[in-house]
Amino acid sequence: VLKRDDHFRIEPINKSRIDAVSGPFFLGMDRKREYFEQRHAGYHSFFKQDWVNLPGFIEKKAEKILKDSGQSFDLVGDYLWPVATATSIKFFGVKAANEEDFKEAIRAVFHETFLNLGNDTKVREKGEEGGKALTSWTRAEIRKIRKSGKLGDDFLGVLLQAMTEKSDEEITYISSGYLVDSIDTTVTTATNILYEFVSNAAVLNSVKNDIDNDRRFVGWMMEALRRRPHNPIILRQAARDTKIGEKSVKKGAQIFAITLSAMQDSAAFTNPKELIPTRQFDRYMHFGYGVHACAGRDLNFVQLPILVKAILKRNPISIGNISFVGPFPGSVKITLGET
């Protein structure tokens, strides 16, 4: 379903939501010239960032928070959100006067854009309000850059250099789309990974033994997310009469691609109940699949190993149940031992 984007379209699912919240962004578009123009400019700006020094920035922020947190604290609110937000502000060059307002706006936009499967009116209204705030902050930064004449080297500055013929409005669409994809995804996936690790002593011990083996450590994270993904269902709509395997599908039918169950399929994952850190990375669907993979996945995966390792190096003793705010982890108490 996700690979056959000519048969199973994303525009009927995402376009109206994304357009209403933050403006036309390529993750709400099917294959067209505008889709490829936006994706090319965005990826160009993404990979022009300082990926060499970014991990050090994240590590320093994480270490400072953990040093001041004591043994027990809220993993989500006290640690993951502040680090992911600070990283995003540095990377994209967009910020609000109040960090709490920034957090709430980004979360509201993400909720409406990607997770409002039931078309909840309140979620939509809150998402649109968040989109207006994010647009306002981004436009303010663009005006500041234009006035100074110094484009800078953060994402927004490079994007302005790359898309000189585009309006500030379109620059805002692209910047906002990438930014929204880079915070809540990091927070939710890191929460899920750490819950799976810390709540199982045997798994925790095995992961800690591989903490200096980058390939295996990332493999453990991918396996934890296979058991507890941040987004277990992806929607598409059939563009024509077609088939999925032997199942006939009518044009206009809505398709629920359940990636959670797909990643428990023994035909693709031998011994699916077992966490095996050496599996092939291209089998996982944590960040989508095909042409509409998560735009912020590369930034997510710079942050995730750093955030998770910093906790594991402090010998976590226990982790509580995750309390949720809508579809998002709201808080979870974690208790650490001695470093």
The predicted-structure confidence for 217-246, as pLDDT tens digits, reads as follows 999 999 999 999 998 999 999 999 999 999
Task: Quote the pLDDT of residue 339.
Answer: 61
Q: What is the DSSP letter of 322?
A: P
Q: Are strands 233-238 and 254-258 parallel, antiparallel or unpaired?
A: antiparallel
Residue 118's pLDDT is 84
**Helices within the chain (DSSP H only):** 16-21, 33-47, 54-69, 81-92, 99-110, 121-148, 155-162, 168-180, 184-198, 201-209, 214-227, 259-262, 297-312
Residues 6+ apart with CB under 8 A from 58: 83, 87, 302, 303, 306, 307
Percent of the chain's residues with pLDDT above 70:
100
Q: What is the mean pLDDT of residues 80-85?
A: 95
Alpha-carbon distance of 304 to 290, in angstroms, equals: 22
pLDDT in tens, 208-219: 999 999 999 999
pLDDT in tens, 243-272: 999 999 999 999 999 999 999 999 999 999
Using the 8-state DSSP alphabet, how is residue 28 labeled? G
Tokens of 164: 């000189």
Query: How far is it, in rounded angstroms, from Cα 202 to Cα 179?
Result: 36
